[in-house]
Amino acid sequence: MNAVARAVAIAGVLAWAPGAMAGKPQPRPPQATPPEAVALIGDAPVTAAELEEMGGGRLFALRTQEYNLTRQILDDAIAKRLLEKEAAAREISVDELSRVEFEGKAAPVTEAEQRTFYEANKARFGSAAEADALKQIESGLRQQRIRERRAEFVAGLRSKAEVKVLLVPPRAPVGAGDAPSRGPSGAPVTIVEFSDFQCPYCSQVTGTLKRLQDRYGDKIRLAFRDFPLSQIHGDAAKAAEAAACANDQGKFWEMHDRLFANQQALQVEALKKSAADLGLDAAVFDECLDSGKHTQEWQQDLAEGARYGITGTPAFFVNGRLLVGAQPFEGFVQVIDEELQRVAAPPPGTKADSKKK
């Protein structure tokens, strides 16, 4: 090939190459998408970790709601299957089993119980005749007792059938830290409460928590953290500081109990009187309260609680599992029992697990 031919061939190759001789940018090879990416802005990923950091509390609360709903449906499905199995074993229908075990064994509602409920709730019945109101009360209490009997019976069937729930609840890494607590630090179950001394629902649940301590003893640890709702409870923040000042003198729980028992007496002067009545060093307590020494502590608790989706009180984390509101005793028991069972179970694949199988 002569020089002219070679020049023509080279020019053809250059003309064919994309963007060549025209100054156009060459396309970059596609970049591998990071596995943790949930979106791309050009080649820059938005990761799941970023979402967790930005919306962790809201996402955690939403996952907890989803778990609770799923768990409720699962428990209904388990109960249905167990009742069908029990009815088949007795060679009767589920409806007949219900009549025998629930309706037949639920405690009757006495006239005295009807009357007591009526006297305590007259306003709810408006202009209804007393006889009609008593009939409504009898029906309502009767249905409540049938539901309670059903729950008790199903619980017995679940225990005999060795039901094991495999749903994994969402957990938040909420710790007790150096918060005031009752129970051993090595307890298998830790309950971290976020509370407000002026909140009536928080006061109501104190009796439930004492029942849990009586039932479980050293198996649980109760830790108290502050979440004063200052927008609606103007004295709550200062009450939190008063409890912290009492804690400095080793009497947090005495002050805790007094504040919840006297929620109308949370003003500064009333707090100082409570401290004196509890035998605290009044001068030291007053100086502590007036100085705002512990303000930053409740502010930190408030911020951390908000990060985990808390918007109201009381709120509890049972080994990281969120329970919102003044939960009934049975609600706590279910979660605590599940946690005790979980921590006692050998890890899958271990020798102990193999022997159990």
Q: pLDDT tens digits for 288-326?
A: 999 999 999 999 999 999 988 899 999 999 999 999 999
Q: Do 194 and 81 reside in the same domain of the chain?
A: no
Residue 148 is part of which domain span? 55-161
pLDDT at residue number 9: 47
Q: Is residue 107 part of a domain?
A: yes
Q: Is residue 34 part of a domain?
A: no
Q: Is residue 223 part of a domain?
A: yes
192-203 per-residue burial string, b: 16 or more CB within 10 A, e: under 16: bbbbbbbbeebb
Q: Do 290 and 190 reside in the same domain of the chain?
A: yes
Q: What are phi and psi of 180, to 5 degrees?
A: -55, 135
Q: Do 153 and 295 reside in the same domain of the chain?
A: no
Q: Is residue 11 part of a domain?
A: no
In single-letter form, the type of residue at position 284 comes to V
- Label residue 25 by pLDDT band (50, 70, 90): low
- Label residue 352 by pLDDT band (50, 70, 90): low
pLDDT greater than 70 at residue 87: yes
The total of structural domains in the chain comes to 2
Q: Is residue 84 part of a domain?
A: yes
pLDDT greater than 80 at residue 32: no
| Mean pLDDT, residues 1-20 taken together | 46
Percent of the chain clearing pLDDT 90 (strictly above): 66
pLDDT at residue number 16: 45
Q: Is residue 79 part of a domain?
A: yes
pLDDT greater than 50 at residue 161: yes
pLDDT at residue number 31: 63
pLDDT at residue number 242: 97
Whole-structure pTM value = 0.76
Q: Do 330 and 193 reside in the same domain of the chain?
A: yes
**229 CB contacts (<8 Å, ≥6 apart)?**
196, 198, 199, 236, 312, 313
Last residue of a domain, one of 161, 195, 214: 161
pLDDT at residue number 273: 96
pLDDT at residue number 131: 87
Q: Is residue 38 part of a domain?
A: no
Q: Do 117 and 232 reside in the same domain of the chain?
A: no
Q: Do 188 and 244 reside in the same domain of the chain?
A: yes
pLDDT at residue number 7: 45
pLDDT single digits (tens) 108-129: 999 999 989 988 888 888 878 8
Q: Do 186 and 326 reside in the same domain of the chain?
A: yes
Percent of the chain clearing pLDDT 70 (strictly above): 87
How would you write the chain as a 3-class SS string?
CCHHHHHHHHHHHHHHCCCCCCCCCCCCCCCCCCCCEEEEECCEEEEHHHHHHHHHHHHHHHHHHHHHHHHHHHHHHHHHHHHHHHHHHHCCCHHHHHHHHHHCCCCCCCHHHHHHHHHHCHHHHCCCCHHHHHHHHHHHHHHHHHHHHHHHHHHHHHHHHCCCCCCCCCCCCCCCCCCCEECCCCCCEEEEEEECCCCHHHHHCHHHHHHHHHHHHHHEEEEEEECCCCCCCCCHHHHHHHHHHHHHCCCHHHHHHHHHHCCCCCCHHHHHHHHHHCCCCHHHHHHHHHHCCCHHHHHHHHHHHHHCCCCCCCEEEECCEEEECCCCHHHHHHHHHHHHHHHHCCCCCCHHHHHHC
pLDDT greater than 50 at residue 261: yes
pLDDT greater than 60 at residue 54: yes
Q: Do 138 and 197 reside in the same domain of the chain?
A: no
- Label residue 14 by pLDDT band (50, 70, 90): very low
Last residue of a domain, one of 106, 127, 161: 161
pLDDT at residue number 27: 60
Q: Is residue 261 part of a domain?
A: yes
pLDDT single digits (tens) 93-103: 999 999 999 98
pLDDT at residue number 353: 55
Q: Do 220 and 137 reside in the same domain of the chain?
A: no
Q: Do 196 and 250 reside in the same domain of the chain?
A: yes
Q: Do 230 and 279 reside in the same domain of the chain?
A: yes
CATH number of the domain that 261 lies in?
Answer: 3.40.30.10
Last residue of a domain, one of 126, 161, 196: 161
pLDDT at residue number 344: 81
Q: Do 197 and 340 reside in the same domain of the chain?
A: yes
